[in-house]
C-alpha cells in the first residue's frame, strides 16, 4: 500500500536578506580607539546630511571614542559604528550608522549584538535609542516604542523634539 505525497504548498515570499557568508565574515567588530575619531566623523557625515543623525564635532568623537564599537573591513576602513553611553542601570545607543554599500550585509546586526554584549557585561538592565527612521533593525532585535519618560532623564532631555524621533527600549 502506498500513500500519496503531500501536496505542494506555496510559501510566501519574504524580503529577509540573508548576508552572504563571505560578506558577513569580511569585517570585524571591535571597540573604537581615539585615533578612529576622524573616520567615525567621516562615516557619520552622509547620515547627518540626510537628517538621520545629529551633527557631532570631531572633538566629541575624540572625547567619546571609548563609547563606540566599529565594524572594520580587512583594509582598515570603518564600515559601521554604534555608540553606547552608560547611564545608571541603562544604556543609550547613539550614532548608529552603516556605510551604504554595507547595508543589508549583517554589519548593523553584528554591531547591535556587540552592543548588547557590552551592555550585559556592564550589568545594564535596558537599552534605549531614538530614531527618526523606521527602526526596523531595532524592532527585530527586541526594541519597542516607549515614552521618553522611561529613558535616562539626562538623555531624554537632550532629545530635540523638532527631529520627531521615536524612543525605543529593550530590556536586557
The pLDDT tens digits for 108-138 are: 999 999 999 999 999 999 999 999 989 999 9
Q: Record the pTM.
A: 0.83
Contact 94, 110 (CB under 8 A): no
Cα 30 to Cα 59, 66, 89, 105, 140, distances in angstroms: 21, 11, 23, 17, 23
pLDDT 10s digits, 11-66: 333 333 334 444 445 899 999 999 999 999 999 999 999 999 999 999 999 999 99
Query: Residue 69 gets which letter from DSSP?
Result: E
Amino acid at each position: 500500500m502506498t500513500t500519496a505525497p503531500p501536496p505542494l504548498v506555496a510559501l510566501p515570499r519574504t524580503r529577509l536578506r540573508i548576508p552572504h557568508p563571505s560578506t558577513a565574515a569580511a569585517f570585524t567588530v571591535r571597540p573604537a580607539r581615539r585615533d578612529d575619531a576622524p573616520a567615525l566623523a567621516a562615516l557619520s557625515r552622509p547620515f547627518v546630511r540626510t537628517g538621520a543623525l545629529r551633527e557631532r564635532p570631531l572633538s566629541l568623537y575624540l572625547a567619546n571614542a571609548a563609547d563606540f564599537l566599529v565594524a572594520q573591513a580587512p583594509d582598515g576602513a570603518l564600515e559601521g559604528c554604534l555608540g553606547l553611553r552608560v547611564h545608571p542601570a541603562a544604556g543609550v545607543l547613539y550614532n548608529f550608522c552603516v556605510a551604504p554599500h554595507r547595508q543589508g550585509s549583517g554589519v548593523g546586526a553584528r554591531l547591535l549584538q556587540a552592543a548588547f554584549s557590552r551592555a550585559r557585561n556592564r550589568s545594564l538592565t535596558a537599552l534605549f535609542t531614538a530614531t527618526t527612521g523606521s527602526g526596523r533593525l531595532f524592532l527585530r532585535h527586541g526594541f519597542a516604542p516607549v515614552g521618553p519618560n522611561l529613558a535616562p532623564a539626562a538623555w531624554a532631555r537632550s532629545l530635540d523634539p523638532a527631529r520627531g524621533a521615536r524612543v525605543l527600549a529593550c530590556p536586557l
